[in-house]
Amino acid sequence: MSAIHVTTTINNDATEFLCAPDETLLDVLRDRLGLTGSKEGCGSGDCGACSVMLDGRLVCACLVLGAEAEGRTVATIEGMAVGETLHPLQRKFLEHAALQCGICTPGFLIAAKALLERHPDPTEEEARYWLAGNLCRCTGYDKIIRAVLDAAAEMREAG
Amino acid sequence: MPRVKLWGSLAASIDGQSEVEVRARTLRELLDTLKQEYPALRPQLDRGVSVAIDGVIYNDDWFTPIRDDSEVVLLARLKGG
Amino acid sequence: MALDNKTDAGKRQFKIVGTRPLRPDGVDKVTGRARFGADMSAPGMLVGAVLRSPHPHAQIRSIDTTRARALPGVHAVVTRADFPTVDDAAIADILDNCMAGDKALYDGHAVAAVAAASGAVARHALELIAVDYAPLPFVTDVDAAMKPDAPALHPSRADETVPPGLSANVMARHQFGHGDIEAGLAAADRVLERSYRTEATHQGYIEPHACLASVGPDGKADLWCCTQGQYMVRNTCAAILGMEQGSLRVTPSEIGGGFGGKTTVFLEPVALLLSKKAGRPVKMVMSRDEVFRASGPTASTSIDVRIGMTKDGRITAGFAELRYQGGAYPGSPVDMGSMSAFAPYDLEHVKTIGWDVVTNRPKQAAYRAPGAPMAAFAVESAIDELARGFGLDPLEVRLKNAAREGTRASYGPTFPAIGLEATLRAAKDHPHWSAPLGPNQGRGVACGFWFNFGGDTCVSLNITPDGTVTVSEGNPDIGGSRASMSMMAAEELGIPYEKVRTIIADTGSLGQNDVTDGSRVTFAVGLATIEAARAAKREMCKRAAQVWGIDADAVIWEDGAVRPVSPNAGKHPPMTLAEIAAIASNTGGPIAGHCEVNAEGAGVSFGTHIADTEVDPETGAVKILRYTVLQDAGKAVHPDYVEGQFQGGAVQGIGWALNEEYIYGDDGRLQNAGFLDYRIPVASDLPMIDTVILEIPNPGHPYGVRGVGETPIVPPLAAVANAVSHATGVRLTHLPISPPRLLAAIRAK
CATH of the domain at B13: 3.10.20.30
> Is the confidence at residue C7, as pLDDT, over 50?
no
C133 CA to centre of own chain:
36
| Measured distance CA(C565)–CA(C553) in Å, rounded | 8
At residue C8, the pLDDT reads 54
Contacts (Cβ under 8 Å, ≥6 apart) of B46: none
Nearest CB among B12, B43, B59 relative to C455 is that of B59
> Is the confidence at residue C553, as pLDDT, over 70?
yes
- For chain C, give the mean pLDDT: 96
At residue C12, the pLDDT reads 81
Q: Name the residue of chain C whose CA is nearest to A105's CA.
A: C30
Q: Please tell me whether residue B64 adopts helix, strand or coil conformation.
A: coil
Neighbours of B32 (CB within 10 A): 15
Tell me the C-alpha to C-alpha distance, in Å, between residue C686 and each of A145, B64, C239, C536. Answer: 11, 47, 44, 47
Chain C window 185-224: which residues touch A at a Cβ cutoff of 8 Å? 203-208
Neighbours of A95 (CB within 10 A): 17
Chain C window 182-201: which residues touch B at a Cβ cutoff of 8 Å? none
Per-residue pLDDT tens for C413-470? 999 889 999 999 999 999 999 999 999 999 999 999 998 888 899 999 999 999 999 9
For residue B61, list chain C residues with Cβ-Cβ distance below 8 A: 598, 600
| Measured distance CA(B76)–CA(C490) in Å, rounded | 38
- Residue C246, exposed/middle/buried by CB under 10 A (0-12, 13-18, 19+)? exposed
Domain annotation for chain A: domains and CATH numbers? 4-79 (3.10.20.30), 88-158 (1.10.150.120)
Q: Which CATH code for domain C300-452+603-748?
A: 3.30.365.10
Average pLDDT over residues C45-71: 98
At residue B78, the pLDDT reads 80
Q: C6-28+454-599 and C300-452+603-748 share one CATH topology?
A: yes
* C369-406 CB burial, b ≥16 within 10 A, e <16: bbbbbbbbbbbbbbbbbbbbeeebebbebbbbbbbeee
List residues bridging with C704 in a β-sheet: none
State the best of A101, A109, A125, A146 to mutate against chain C, taking most chain C CBs within 10 Å.
A101
- Residue B45, exposed/middle/buried by CB under 10 A (0-12, 13-18, 19+)? middle
At residue C27, the pLDDT reads 97
Per-residue pLDDT tens for C194-241? 999 999 999 999 999 999 999 999 999 999 999 999 999 999 999 999
Average pLDDT over residues B37-42: 91
State the best of C19, C28, C31 to mutate against chain A, taking most chain A CBs within 10 Å.
C31
Could you give the percent of chain C with pLDDT greater than 70?
99
Which chains are within 8 Å of B by 3+ CB pairs?
C
Residue C654, phi then psi, degrees to nearest 5: -65, -40
CA distance B72 to chain C (A): 7
At residue C644, the pLDDT reads 97
CA distance C159 to chain B (A): 9
Could you give the percent of chain B with pLDDT greater than 70?
100
Contacts (Cβ under 8 Å, ≥6 apart) of C364: C200, C296, C297, C298, C299, C325, C326, C327, C331, C332, C333
Q: Please tell me whether residue C355 adopts helix, strand or coil conformation.
A: strand
Q: Domain range for residue B21?
A: 3-76
Per-residue pLDDT tens for C242-268? 999 999 999 999 999 999 999 999 999
Q: Quick one: which of C367, C365, C362 has its CA closest to C669?
A: C362
CA distance A121 to chain C (A): 17
Q: Given pLDDT bands bounded at 50, 70 and 90, which one contains residue B6?
A: confident
Tell me the C-alpha to C-alpha distance, in Å, between residue C376 and each of B77, C6, C234, C299, C338. Answer: 20, 33, 35, 14, 10
For residue C367, list chain B residues with Cβ-Cβ distance below 8 A: 81
The H or E element that residue C385 is part of is helix C372-389
Chain C window 404-443: which residues touch B at a Cβ cutoff of 8 Å? 411-416
Q: Does B16 touch chain C (CB under 8 A)?
A: no
In chain C, what are the domain boundaries?
6-28+454-599, 53-136+209-285, 300-452+603-748
Question: For C53-136+209-285, which CATH superfamily applies?
Answer: Aldehyde oxidase/xanthine dehydrogenase, a/b hammerhead (3.90.1170.50)
| Measured distance CA(C228)–CA(C248) in Å, rounded | 17
Neighbours of B27 (CB within 10 A): 21
CA distance A90 to chain C (A): 6
Average pLDDT over residues C300-322: 98
Q: Does A133 touch chain C (CB under 8 A)?
A: yes
Nearest CB among C30, C257, C651 relative to A94 is that of C30
CB contact under 8 A, B81 and C710: yes
User: Is residue B24 in some structural domain?
Assistant: yes
CB contact under 8 A, A103 and C676: no
Q: Does A135 touch chain C (CB under 8 A)?
A: yes
The H or E element that residue C441 is part of is strand C441-450
State the best of C682, C693, C708, C710 to mutate against chain A, taking most chain A CBs within 10 Å.
C682
Contacts (Cβ under 8 Å, ≥6 apart) of C387: C309, C313, C393, C394, C397
CB contact under 8 A, B43 and C159: yes
At residue C737, the pLDDT reads 98
Nearest CB among A125, A134, A138 relative to C479 is that of A138
Q: Given pLDDT bands bounded at 50, 70 and 90, which one contains residue C298?
A: very high
User: Is residue B81 in some structural domain?
Assistant: no
> Is the confidence at residue C554, as pLDDT, over 70?
yes
Chain C window 318-347: which residues touch A at a Cβ cutoff of 8 Å? none
Write down how long chain A is.
Answer: 159
| Measured distance CA(C335)–CA(C352) in Å, rounded | 9
CB contact under 8 A, C675 and A44: yes
Q: How many helices (H) and strands (E) does chain A have?
A: 5, 5
| Measured distance CA(C36)–CA(C653) in Å, rounded | 26
Nearest CB among B58, B73, B81 relative to C600 is that of B58
Nearest CB among B11, B13, B76 relative to C335 is that of B76
For residue C288, list chain A residues with Cβ-Cβ distance below 8 A: 41-44, 46-47
Contacts (Cβ under 8 Å, ≥6 apart) of A6: A16, A17, A18, A19, A28, A66, A67, A69, A70
In terms of C-beta distances under 8 Å and separation of at least 24 residues, what long-range contacts does C556-563 make, across chains too? Answer: C556/C1, C556/C2, C557/C1, C557/C2, C557/C3, C557/C494, C558/C494, C559/C494, C560/C493, C560/C494, C560/C495, C561/C494
Q: Given pLDDT bands bounded at 50, 70 and 90, which one contains residue B9?
A: confident
Nearest CB among B55, B64, B80 relative to C413 is that of B55
Q: Given pLDDT bands bounded at 50, 70 and 90, which one contains residue C1?
A: very low
> How many domains does one find in chain B?
1
ipTM over cut 0.85: yes
Q: Does A76 touch chain C (CB under 8 A)?
A: yes
CB contact under 8 A, A77 and C680: no
- With touching defined as 3 or more inter-chain CB pairs under 8 Å, the answer for chains A and C is yes
> Is the confidence at residue C667, as pLDDT, over 50?
yes
Q: Please tell me whether residue C386 adopts helix, strand or coil conformation.
A: helix
Chain C window 679-718: which residues touch A at a Cβ cutoff of 8 Å? 680-686, 688-689
The one-character DSSP state at C603 is P
Nearest CB among C175, C412, C415 relative to B12 is that of C175
Q: Does A4 touch chain C (CB under 8 A)?
A: no
Q: Does A24 touch chain C (CB under 8 A)?
A: no
| Measured distance CA(C294)–CA(C328) in Å, rounded | 11
Asked if C639 and C522 touch (Cβ cutoff 8 Å), the reply is no
Per-residue pLDDT tens for C630-653? 999 999 999 999 999 999 999 999
Q: Quick one: which of C660, C663, C655, C656 has its CA closest to C681?
A: C655
Chain A window 25-54: which residues touch C at a Cβ cutoff of 8 Å? 30, 35-44, 46-47, 49
Q: Quick one: which of C289, C253, C271, C38 has its CA closest to A26?
A: C38
Asked if C285 and C38 touch (Cβ cutoff 8 Å), the reply is yes
For residue C160, list chain B residues with Cβ-Cβ distance below 8 A: 13, 43-44
Question: Considering the entire predicted model, what is its pTM?
Answer: 0.97
Q: Which CATH architecture has domain C6-28+454-599?
A: 2-Layer Sandwich (3.30)
* The residue type at C409: A
CB contact under 8 A, A134 and C20: no
The H or E element that residue C471 is part of is strand C469-473
DSSP symbols for C274-328: HHHHHTS-EEEE--HHHHHHHS----EEEEEEEEEE-TTS-EEEEEEEEEEE-TT
Tell me the C-alpha to C-alpha distance, in Å, between residue C572 and each of C401, C494, C537, C551, C563. Answer: 59, 19, 18, 13, 7
For residue C261, list chain B residues with Cβ-Cβ distance below 8 A: 81
At residue C519, the pLDDT reads 84
